[in-house]
């Protein structure tokens, strides 16, 4: 629960977490990978292979005589091997010694899929380190670093997506579509053998127009092998003139290029952090190196791509989960060969091989989206710090609301802090005011004062952003006669009422869905009432209150279709009155120049949550949403509806700012010995029976204290909270229990956890129990 940035500097080795190969000791998982012997050894050749299976082993295989001509293999290449009754694609790690291994009991590999390594040595070491630190099987960790098609054993080819006109394409069909006509003419110039999509985009074509031509049968897309050439980077537009603070930040970052330095760029929303990124990137790109940019949400990727493409004429690729398998492989290959100079992606992009990596940027570094919440529970921000340290390149962490872990590292001198306290263009900070909802009349969930403020802004053709972090129509379906509520049969949660695409009940935790009942199952009353407010219901109310105003709803439901978010973003940039309504998708880094009023409807719950991190996340969300107001030339105003305006943390936040709020929270954490002042691991257990989850955790925690290493210590080094039921005990039909393990010494914590977790994974009592370990957990739900 503390940043791995500290671990980068203390060089924790996580002793004792080295795993074993089948039949022999494995090189430890911190990067000491076996190096293949360049000359064929006498006797059989035994190699080590990492397989995508939930086992903490690397496996030994024989190289058959038929493949000796290809020996030695390159570490990091793929091999097909038999595993039980299946054939799996694994990664060759190196040659094993023959000591203690009986070759006649080993299976032979079937094929070698690659002549060259897909994962360079530096990336293999990083993946071994991540597997060790997060206590996760190395084979599955390595699998996360490969695109789906390569994990499936597809041939590795350097493919590029090309476009050309079809044989029957006629220009006359586009007389009424000028943008498509321009794209048609571009394709006509490159009719044979077609033009690469990247070149067409640089020449002004858009992906949307190409797809429209394809739908009309006028253009076709195909894959073609291409050489991986790197073109010199050129500026598409001149940099903006930075203010003094931006210039100091740019100069400081440039001083640390070509060496590792963790840098926290702590800048207000709208203070020009992106311009600092762009100008810091320029010398890196001009030197022929690559830049990795991580963003928290897919929704931010198009905006970031547009900003970077408008500045640099170079190969820029995006990597996120919404890409097709082919598109993701293309982007990965462009980065892996060095052809892509800028890679922009979400958290998984941190494992993208980049042979000429010169700079890493993590935008909105505080965002919880950078932490993987299931399976391989890594934190992309912390892995990026480790990668920068290993590859000797600076890592910039940018945020208007830095996480407490990063601020703690600044206090310890392990991160360099650069501050931006002025908004770009001298735009004034938005004023924040509270609306006390006690005894306040409301209409559609909006206080009268807020409705009046919205009307004033719309009269001036300004835009309003309303933030409600609850999608759907209503969070509860209630019977007013007997107080029955529609609950999820699989979770300890209410079912949310949805009216699109048809009326139904939906659990946002396990995805259970059902029709709305015609009558109350308890008393047969037919007066079932949707209770509470979701974004869809608020949208209806806003249309009633402001019938002549465009209402742009932004949540997971309204942006699920391809291109929907882009259309909303385009409308928001028109200088015309509108109301933007949405969840936290609206809060993260978007630039809405015409928004002058931001309304936040529900913040009280965030300060009352059982998770000790909840107040921090709530404050970050408030400041991020507030930062959408007044980014243009007009002053901004933020109105927060609350039933508890006297909340001391909320008062500190709005009166003194996020820095004072963070300082207060840090003092509380220090007094309570909570992260970042202690290191922590969260142990989860899930079973169909509530008692079994708690019993299993109690049993494995007893084993932890029974370890010889723990017994030798004079004073118990660990403090354990639990086991207790999870805040939402039943979810998706299973009962969940938690235990928190704290320790002041990170190295000791990992040393004890490493040996113990291997034992836990092999316990016969684990049958029927899904258990996991979450290092530096960010959510306790």
pLDDT tens digits, residue range 103-136? 888 999 999 999 899 999 999 999 999 999 999 9
Tokens coding 332: 């990965």
Tokens coding 566: 């882009």
Map 244-305 to HEC letters.
HHHHHHHHHHHHCCCCCCEEEEEECCCCCHHHHHHHHHHHHHHCCCEEEEECCCCCHHHHHH
Is residue 339 within 8 Å of residue 373, measured between CB atoms? no
523 has binding-site annotation: yes
Half-sphere exposure (Cβ direction) of 454: Cα atoms closer than 13 Å:
22
For residue 630, is pLDDT > 80?
Answer: no
> Is the Cα torsion angle 263, 264, 267, 269 positive or negative in sign?
positive
Q: Average pLDDT over the chain, rounded to whole?
A: 87
Model confidence at 589, in pLDDT bands (50, 70, 90)?
A: low
pLDDT of residue 192: 72
Instruction: Determine the average pLDDT of the residues in 671-694.
Output: 94
Torsion of CA 213, 216, 218, 219, to 10 degrees: 50
221 has binding-site annotation: no
Closest to 268 in 3D by CA, of 627, 590, 563: 627
- Cα separation, 588 vs 597, whole angstroms: 17
pTM above 0.95, yes or no: no
Closest to 311 in 3D by CA, of 360, 230, 363, 239: 239
491 has binding-site annotation: yes
Q: Write out pLDDT tens, residues 224-272.
A: 765 556 677 888 888 899 999 999 999 999 999 989 999 999 998 888 8
Is residue 333 within 8 Å of residue 116, measured between CB atoms? no
Instruction: Determine the average pLDDT of the residues in 589-599.
Output: 85
80 has binding-site annotation: no
Q: Which residue has the tokens 């004079």?
A: 714
Pairing type for strands 595-600 and 637-642 reads: parallel
Closest to 704 in 3D by CA, of 679, 746, 747, 741: 741
Q: Which residue has the tokens 């403090």?
A: 719
CA angle 306, 309, 314 (to 5 degrees): 155
- Tally of CB atoms within 10 A around 733: 13
Tokens coding 34: 């076996």
Is residue 496 within 8 Å of residue 530, measured between CB atoms? no
For residue 523, is pLDDT > 90?
Answer: yes
Half-sphere exposure (Cβ direction) of 446: Cα atoms closer than 13 Å:
26
Is residue 555 within 8 Å of residue 471, measured between CB atoms? yes
488 has binding-site annotation: yes
Is residue 416 within 8 Å of residue 402, measured between CB atoms? no
314 has binding-site annotation: no
- Cα separation, 136 vs 145, whole angstroms: 14
Task: Count Cβ atoms within 10 A of the Cβ of residue 691 and give its class: 0-12 exposed, 13-18 middle, 19 or more buried.
Answer: exposed
Q: Which residue has the tokens 């079809």?
A: 166
Is residue 397 within 8 Å of residue 406, measured between CB atoms? yes
């Amino acid at each position: 629960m503390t940043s791995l940035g500290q671990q980068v500097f203390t060089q924790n080795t996580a002793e004792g977490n080295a795993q074993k190969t089948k039949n022999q000791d494995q090189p430890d998982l911190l990067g000491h990978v076996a190096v293949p012997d360049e000359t064929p050894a006498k006797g059989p050749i035994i190699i080590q292979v990492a397989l995508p299976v939930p086992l903490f082993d690397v496996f030994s295989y024989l190289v058959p005589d038929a493949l000796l001509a290809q020996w030695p293999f390159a570490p990091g290449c793929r091999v097909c091997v038999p595993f039980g009754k299946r054939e799996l694609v694994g990664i060759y790690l190196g040659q094993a010694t023959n000591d203690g291994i009986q070759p006649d009991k080993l299976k032979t590999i079937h094929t070698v899929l690659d002549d060259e390594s897909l994962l360079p040595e530096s990336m293999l070491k990083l993946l071994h380190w991540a597997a060790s630190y997060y206590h996760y099987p190395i084979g599955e960790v390595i699998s996360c670093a490969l695109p789906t098609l390569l994990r499936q054993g597809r041939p590795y080819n350097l493919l590029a997506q090309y476009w050309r006109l079809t044989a029957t394409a006629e220009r006359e069909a586009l007389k009424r579509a000028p943008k498509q006509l321009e794209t048609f003419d571009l394709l006509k110039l490159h009719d044979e053998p077609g033009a690469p999509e990247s070149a067409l985009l640089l020449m002004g074509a858009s992906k949307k127009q190409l797809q429209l031509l394809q739908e009309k049968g006028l253009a076709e897309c195909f894959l073609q092998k291409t050489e991986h050439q790197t073109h010199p980077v050129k500026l598409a537009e001149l940099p903006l003139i930075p203010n003094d603070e931006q210039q100091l930040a740019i100069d400081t970052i440039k001083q640390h290029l070509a060496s590792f330095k963790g840098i926290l760029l702590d800048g207000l929303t709208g203070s020009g952090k992106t311009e600092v990124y762009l100008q810091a990137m320029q010398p890196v790109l001009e030197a022929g190196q690559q830049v990795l940019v991580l963003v928290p949400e897919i929704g931010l990727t198009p905006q970031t791509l547009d900003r970077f493409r408008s500045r640099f004429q170079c190969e820029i690729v995006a990597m996120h989960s919404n890409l097709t398998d082919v598109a993701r492989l293309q982007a990965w290959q462009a980065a892996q060969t060095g052809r892509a100079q800028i890679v922009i992606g979400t958290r998984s992009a941190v494992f993208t091989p980049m042979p000429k990596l010169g700079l890493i940027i993590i935008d909105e570094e505080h965002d919880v989206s950078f932490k993987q919440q299931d399976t391989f529970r890594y934190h992309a921000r912390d892995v990026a710090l480790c990668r920068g340290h290993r590859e000797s390149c600076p890592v910039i962490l940018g945020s208007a609301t830095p996480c407490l872990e990063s601020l703690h590292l600044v206090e310890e001198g392990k991160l360099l802090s650069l501050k931006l306290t002025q908004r770009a263009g001298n735009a004034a900070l938005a004023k924040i005011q509270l609306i006390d909802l006690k005894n306040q009349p409301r209409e559609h969930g909006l206080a009268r004062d807020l409705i009046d403020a919205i009307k004033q802004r719309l009269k001036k053709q300004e835009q309003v952003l309303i933030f409600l972090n609850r999608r759907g129509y209503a969070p509860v379906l209630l019977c007013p006669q007997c107080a029955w509520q529609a609950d999820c049969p699989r979770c300890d949660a209410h079912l949310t009422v949805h009216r699109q695409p048809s009326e139904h009940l939906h659990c946002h935790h396990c995805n259970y869905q059902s029709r709305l009942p015609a009558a109350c199952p308890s008393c047969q009353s037919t007066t079932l009432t949707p209770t509470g407010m979701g974004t869809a219901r608020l949208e209806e109310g806003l249309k009633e209150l402001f019938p002549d105003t465009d209402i742009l709803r932004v949540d997971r439901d309204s942006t699920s279709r391809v291109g929907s978010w882009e259309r909303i973003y385009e409308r928001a940039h028109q200088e015309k009155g509108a109301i933007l309504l949405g969840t936290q998708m609206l809060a993260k880094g978007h630039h809405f120049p015409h928004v002058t009023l931001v309304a936040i409807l529900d913040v009280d719950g965030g300060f009352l949550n059982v998770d000790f991190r909840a107040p921090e996340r709530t404050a970050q969300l408030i400041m991020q949403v507030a930062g959408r107001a007044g980014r243009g030339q007009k002053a901004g105003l933020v109105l927060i509806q609350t039933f508890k305006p006297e909340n001391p943390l909320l008062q500190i936040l709005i009166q003194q700012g996020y820095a004072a709020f963070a300082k207060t929270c840090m003092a509380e954490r220090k007094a309570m010995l909570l992260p970042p002042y202690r290191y922590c691991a969260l142990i989860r257990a899930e079973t169909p029976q509530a008692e079994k989850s708690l019993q299993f955790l109690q049993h494995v925690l007893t084993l932890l204290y029974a370890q010889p290493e723990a017994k030798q210590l004079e004073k118990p080094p660990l403090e354990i909270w639990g086991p207790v039921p999870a805040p939402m005990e039943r979810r998706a039909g299973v009962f969940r229990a938690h235990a928190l393990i704290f320790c002041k010494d990170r190295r000791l914590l990992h040393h004890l956890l490493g040996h113990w977790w291997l034992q836990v994974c092999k316990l016969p009592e684990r049958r029927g129990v899904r258990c996991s370990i979450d290092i530096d957990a960010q959510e306790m739900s």
